[in-house]
Structure 1
């Protein structure tokens, strides 16, 4: 059924039916209710293509994920929980969330250009922000609404929410250094990812503040998934002066790290202290209990939704300051950070 048939059935003009369905104030409550009930009974749904052409809006927000670093393909539940919060925040404003997955090896800017040229969505949520992320300038130059999950090196003003990696590394290193550890292995994301720069810089600063000279051999940049965690720990443990503690800044890296340590007949939380990034389902079965950090992914998702809604409504003299927030994580003490 199209809107013309619905209007004819109700004995109303197409314009009146359209205004009623769009909750315009110039339609009486009684007429609006009558139109809505008839639409539901007769199975009428608006032609979204037509609406998009008329309004220039799709009613959708795109969340760009990549197969390079975002770990959705590695069984990481981070994004599934996060997306639930984003959709919840958007649905209250009649907006839908679309997850757009860039092909492995595809340049992120090329991917974004293609979808912007198609007008796929009204606004964007970006993840896996690079240290030098050209997507930011591209969207800013075209005044396209977006919020980045993560900071970049750009000096330009834009909306972002990022995990407070500075505080995470500071607390983890304080815990390990206070226990007497002087050789601490670090598993960090690839050097192209912005948070890797933050993590490594804070790690080095914590060591220097304790009078310990950072050793580049103890720093590894990689995928930080389960496989990378296992391979890296095996490599670190072959060093002549192997680390006595490990800081693993990846969602599932601790799973691989535990396996590698046990294969080498080393016990996590006894022979080697271990601290992970986040209390995620993949790590909850680890024994000893993993010392790591917690956060509410649903609340983070809601905050991202609110941020992108603010950018959609922005512009003009009453434009709001872009959302810029460090999202705190809470240390959860297990027993894996202990050692004999």
Structure 2
């Protein structure tokens, strides 16, 4: 195995040039970078990461904070794996590694974050599961730790970088679609109110009702866990309702599995007896009967964009990614299913 000095001697260039090429610095031309990378692979170059970290004060890693709770994927079985794939695509261009920092069950978000920042085991952080009022934004800003957020917050500042899904637009469009199909009693299923995605979803739902001339009824808003069990629970509550809705918009697509089962146990048919639209596409929706109507998000592209936002916060890459937006609301596409047919008279 060769070190950086042996690699530089082999190529007859300075160790500084080799170092900058290996670290993806913008001041090294493409031809030189290619020569260095090819020679490093051929000669079996292995960097002394521990020594480099001590000299430069960097680890070459980025931490993605996730929770071990059931809500880790915001109700989606494949959302975060695709986001992670996109993140790795962006970070690997510059030799940066992505590590998962799993918050233990029961430990508060803020306490876990403070512990990770104090240990300085990564160069930058990606936070998730944002809240309406989220003290992690001002804390990270004050600490000097570079970060981006997957999600918005009322406490984020203009200089903070975040990417989020268009929860408001999804909810509003779902309500409008159901209204146009004859539904007037449209329910909403969402997470706890302190989660910012839940607040945004509720805001879009109410905006959709207003645009259709419908009155908001708090009894038609159901809060529960975004997994299968939550959908089953909501199904039971709907069956017990005095004024049963004819349609429902689900904030988490995994809820549909439990909801379908509960309706079936009661002798009701999803789609026919209760029109259903879910927030986000997942593999299970294609195999439900009737096939679930939902919205498609390019989660890998979202992850790549989030990674580029993060790179723009790091001094070594700030100039290269200067044109990357600081904040972005990610678009969606409707996936036509069979779970929300026109209301039968």
Task: Identify whether the pair has TM-score above 0.5, normalized to the shorter chain.
Answer: yes
Q: Distance in 1 between matches of 2:174 and 2:241?
A: 23
Q: CA deviation at 1:177?
A: 1.4
CA distance in 1: counterparts of 2:112 and 2:56, whole angstroms = 25
Aligned positions of 1:76-155 closer than 5 A: 76-154=77-155
Q: In structure 2, what is the equivalent of residue 335 of structure 1?
A: 338
- Residue pair 2:309, 2:324 contacting (<8 A) in 1 also: no
Contact 1:311-1:322 within 8 A present in 2 as well: no
Q: For residue 141 of structure 2, give the secondary structure of its aligned residue in structure 1.
A: helix
Deviation at 1:48, TM superposition (A): 0.8
Cα distance in 2 for partners of 1:72, 1:205 equals 26
User: When the two structures are superposed, what TM-score results if normalisation uses the length of structure 2?
Assistant: 0.86
User: 1:266 is paired with a residue of what secondary structure?
Assistant: coil
Match of 2:268 among 253, 266, 269: 266
> What secondary structure sits across from 2:339 in the alignment?
coil
Equivalent position SS for 1:312: coil
Give the stretch that moved more between structures: 41-50 or 276-285. Answer: 41-50
Aligned partner of 1:298 in structure 2 is: 300
- Given that 2:66 and 2:72 are in contact with CA atoms closer than 8 Å, whether structure 1 keeps it comes out as no
Aligned partners of 2:192 and 2:224 also within 8 Å:
yes
CA separation of 1:11 and 1:303: change in aligned 2, threshold 3 A? closer
Paired residues of 2:226 and 2:255 also in contact (CA < 8 A): yes
Distance 1:70 1:327 in 2: 21
TM-score by length of 1: 0.87
Task: Provide the secondary structure at the position in 1 that maps to 2:249.
Answer: strand
Deviations along 1:265-311, whole A, 9 cap, x unmatched?
Answer: 11111111000111111222111111110121111111111111112
Equivalent residue for 1:279? Answer: 281
1:198 alignment partner in structure 2: 200
Deviations along 1:84-129, whole A, 9 cap, x unmatched? 0110111112111111110111111111111111111111111111
1:23 aligned to which of 21, 24, 38: 21
Q: Structure 2, unaligned stretches of length 5 or more? A: none
3-state SS, counterpart of residue 214 of structure 2 = coil
* Secondary structure of residue in 2 paired with 1:293: strand
Report deviation, 1:44: 4.2
Structure 1 114/210 Cα, relative in aligned 2: closer, same or farther at 3 Å?
Answer: same
> Compared with structure 1, are the counterparts of its residues 33 and 77 closer, same or farther at alpha carbon in structure 2 (3 Å cutoff)?
closer
Deviation at 1:190, TM superposition (A): 1.5
Q: Distance in 1 between matches of 2:36 and 2:314?
A: 32
Corresponding residue number in structure 1 for 2:173: 171
CA contact (8 A) 1:182 1:212 kept: yes
Deviations along 1:50-79, one digit per CA (max 9) or x if unpaired, are 111111111111111113464359771110
Matched position secondary structure for 2:117: helix
- CA RMSD in angstroms, aligned pairs only: 3.2
Distance 1:148 1:255, change over 3 A: same
Match of 2:63 in 1: 62
